[in-house]
Chains A and B, each alone.
Chain A
Amino acid sequence: MHIGTFTERPYAHLQENEIYRNASFFGVSNRHFDPKLGAELYHRYLDQNVAAEALGFDVIMLNEHHANPFTMGAVMDVEAAILAARTNRIKIALMGNPLPIADPLRLAEELAEIDMISRGRLVAGWVRGAGSEQIANNVNPAYNRERFNEAHDFIQQAWTRPGPWRYEGKHYHYRHVNPWARPYQQPVPECWIPGLVSPETVVWAAQHRYPYLALATFLEPTVEMWEMYADAAAKEGYQAGPENFGYLQKIVVAETEEKAQELGRNWLYGGGQPAFARPEWMFPSGYNSKAATARLAKAFTNPDTGDVALAAFTYSENMDIAAAKRSVEASYKGFQDSNQFIIGTPKSVLPKLRHVLEILRPGIFICWHIEGGSLSREDAMTSLRLLGTEVLPEMRKWAKELGLTSPDEVKPGPPPLPANGKRLPVTGNLSRAAQ
């Protein structure tokens, strides 16, 4: 199993009330951004990722969001290039580059450079980009899926087909494709697909034999989607296994339960992940398929849930910030009960981790390392160190015991279906739920 680390790299100096007033991280004015503090934060996050290598992690995962204090990685490839030069062994996984907003030829060049600087440690990853990325980059959301598909296919060609050649597509046109930067990994860099279990993407990943990395999704829909992945894999003629699946898990550890609980609250900073962007920015017009829009129509117009099902709180001109904070605070225990947040000492988190591994059987496991809010550099480093020295060794033993093979151990896609042609299940029994 590959075990990795990840943080959102937030702009952690923003007063929480600014986010609440806006009912969303996306859209808060950048007049609150102090570049001197920003410089310190970039160095803090880079240093932590370099330290992860020495602590025994296999993967540094980065991500990209735009115009948003939730994540400072608006140009993730720059951070990846720096880490490529400052590390020696660890994989650098870009989860992911939002294809529809990119210039695909430039992206092919950038990633080839990173792959060479790291001597083959790049894991490329492709995403459609959150709805807010389409707005912040002014890329037509109605062509999001088309642009994703076309850019993906173009980059594969740019990496593999000797140039120069001309390209005429629907959304992209190049008269001279001949990048003088080719991937170190031949023919193309390793690739995983991160996502929030949208069925269209899950099936697409299976068809391309790309491992699918579920981004801290609830266990039940994750199991459902991974079985759907395995169905699509069987149609392609192969048996999916742990090497096809990755999972991102929020986890924080400290020396004591009390300290861990105190740190864990930082995940609620500004309303937490559900406050990433308001629904109208998460799902701009045309961004979703017709089927997904029909599902949203149900969710949005249900008087019992309304927007609440999809966002931390609903925007209004006269936001009651205290009430919004209370409702966010009230969600803390529930997130722990559902394993969305795993919080404790290195010892007390183990059974919960074991449970997740038994149910999901991932070959890639990324620890979503806490950041943001009032978390100090020291507390963040302690948590990372305890994970590396006390939790990772146990997980490695279990990975062996449970047969959780990484994509380096078993290449995704080759394993054939069983002789009877019926695929095997890829997840554990959710109802067993023994903790």
Chain B
Amino acid sequence: MAVADLAAQEKQVQIGGATLKYLEAGNGPPLLVLHGELGFPGWTDFYTQLSKTRRLIVLLHPGFGVSDRIDWIMNIRELACFYARFLQEQKLAPIAVLGFSLGGWIAAEMAVNNSGLFTHMALVGAAGIRPPKGEIRDLFDRPTQHYIENSVFDPVGAPEFSKLYGGVSPEKQYEMWEDARAETARLAWAPYMYNPSLPYLLQGISGLPTLLVWGGEDKVVPASAGEVYANSIRGAKLEMFDKCGHLPEIEKKDELLARLLDFLAAK
């Protein structure tokens, strides 16, 4: 976890006998943030800017190294149901949600179960759908560093990329990634990173403003998956960023921020 600490508070709550930890930072209307398959990357510039007008609630997924693993959660849909219970018990629903990659998939599963949980849904490079063209990059058949290097269009040109995963010792970082990867394996090993029923169920969502953001050169979740999302969710808008990979929050942070704030401001 890297970059400046944003006077964030770590909180925890008991849900169904399990402890869920989350981070809270910023001021404004609440925004639920669901991180991706390598864990929460820390308070990057994108989050720092966003926190000026939004109260960010970043759930730290169970088993990803901070919140304890929950033995009976064995797939993404079960995690989504658990999070729905969190929102209801904490009286946070309906709330706006922002999900990245694996976190985008979780948000989509929550929405198909009960779209009333959300006022707005923004998904960035979301997993969860088998792309009709290309394949979702395998997190498990190469070292983590290889996956990360393939997460951006231009590792050299993205100013924040080099410090993104450099805030702790390499040893600690290795353990954090392994925690995240192990839990991702538990939840999404096969079918890898998608749920075949999701496109059908997404068609049942109505009246939920949805923004889909994709890097045009996403080498992790190919953009064709974004098109399936867009065609499945009524009224969803797909925004493609040129010269951008799987991490628009790093490579196109200003554009993403502007687009997201516009989207959240609209009724």
A interface residue numbers (CB < 8 A to B): 135, 138, 140-143, 279-281, 284-286, 288, 293-294, 296-298, 300-301
Contacts and interface: CB of A to CB of B under 8 A. Distances in A.
A140 B186 contact: yes
Contacts of B189: 138, 140-142
B139 interface: yes
B155 to A, nearest CB: 16
Query: In terms of DSSP, what is the predominant structure of the interface of chain A?
Result: helix
B140 A284 contact: yes
20 contacts: A140-B186, A140-B190, A141-B185, A142-B185, A280-B141, A281-B141, A284-B140, A285-B139, A285-B181, A285-B185, A286-B181, A286-B182, A293-B175, A293-B178, A296-B174, A296-B178, A297-B174, A297-B175, A301-B170, A301-B174
A294 B169 CA distance: 13
Contacts of B174: 296-297, 300-301
B175 A294 contact: yes
Interface residues of B, number: 20
Interface of B: 139-143, 169-172, 174-175, 178, 181-186, 189-190
A298 B175 CA distance: 9
A279 B140 CA distance: 11
Contact of A138 (B143, B169, B175, B190): B190
Contacts, number: 55
B171 A301 contact: yes
A232 to B, nearest CB: 25
B171 A286 contact: no
A296 B184 CA distance: 19
A135 B169 CA distance: 29
A184 B175 CA distance: 47
Contacts of B170: 301
A285 B184 contact: yes
B60 to A, nearest CB: 17
Contacts of A297: 171-172, 174-175, 178
B140 A135 contact: yes
B143 A280 contact: yes
Given A280-B142, A280-B143, A301-B171, A142 B182 contact: yes
Contacts of A300: 174
A277 to B, nearest CB: 11
Contact of B171 (A135, A142, A280, A298): A298
Given A285-B140, A294-B175, A297-B174, 19 more contacts: A140-B185, A140-B186, A140-B190, A141-B189, A142-B185, A280-B141, A280-B142, A281-B141, A285-B178, A285-B182, A286-B182, A286-B185, A293-B182, A297-B172, A297-B178, A300-B174, A301-B170, A301-B171, A301-B174
Nearest to B172: A297
B130 to A, nearest CB: 16
Contacts of A280: 140-143
